[in-house]
Structure 1
Amino acid sequence: MVDLAGGLSKLAPPLGYMRSLHRTIRSRAGRPTQRESAPASAHRSIGSETLDTLERRYHDGEALRAIANDVGMSRHRLASLLRGRGVRIRGASPSSAEVREMARLYRAGESLKRIGGGLGFSAGTIRNHLLTAGVTLRSPQARVR
């Protein structure tokens, strides 16, 4: 005889969770979402004064997500607007132009730490992007101190 109860008892918690999620989703189906209720033009028209304030808050160290939630826009949209103004987004990967600059500086003899300090990245990030770009790294013993 095969004991099926032991095997099926492991499925009970995930199935119960899925059922509760299904009920939650079904109950939301009749309500309009935030996107549907907001006019389409509300996302396009952001004044330069507002952007100045948002940029200042971001430079003061406030999280991008918190600022975006306060204004009622997505984090991606806010990041895009700030990038358009020349603001460097924290935690973002370097652009292809920045990687080319890293490679140029490294080939000119700069250290990973100095390149990172100048561009706002860690030495490890510089190293990883140089390796990905196919740059041959110098031996650590060959560096000039």
Structure 2
Amino acid sequence: MDATQALAHPSAPVQRLLEIAKTWLDKPQHSGSPTRTICRTARQPNPDEIDALVEAHRSGLTVYQIAQQFGMHRSAVGRHLAARDVHTRQLVLSPTEIHEAAELYRSGQRLKDLAEHYGIGVTTINRILISAGVNMRPPGRRVGPGSTTLINCPPN
């Protein structure tokens, strides 16, 4: 089928498209005045301002609070702090609590109990203990108080 035949006998979908296309020319190309887009380039803070960001973070302000105070985006504040080797993530547990949790785990406490005690998830306490160099026990359930025999439990 050549192009002449295709246009001479268009299918139903093509006819509908041609009908819609006729209305396109009836509509104005744009309505009203053209919309202007205002673009602005982020101003780079000078070294003194970055020092002020670092001091604000050390004084206890969060990245969000610093961003609001200095009129910057939070990700920009984070980048400037990271460039100065300032860590913005808060520790889940303090070094003292990590040491305490490790000792409790070594003495036989379950991950579930430790997680509940510190108000964090089981996966989080597990990750913290592993990163602290604690040898983890195999998964299972103890058979009695103080028993070292484990029963493998099916995963939940």
Name the TM-score, length of structure 1 as normaliser: 0.41
Relative to its length, the structure with more helix (as a share) is 1
Q: Compare CA radii of gyration and give the structure with the larger one.
A: 2
Name the TM-score, length of structure 2 as normaliser: 0.38
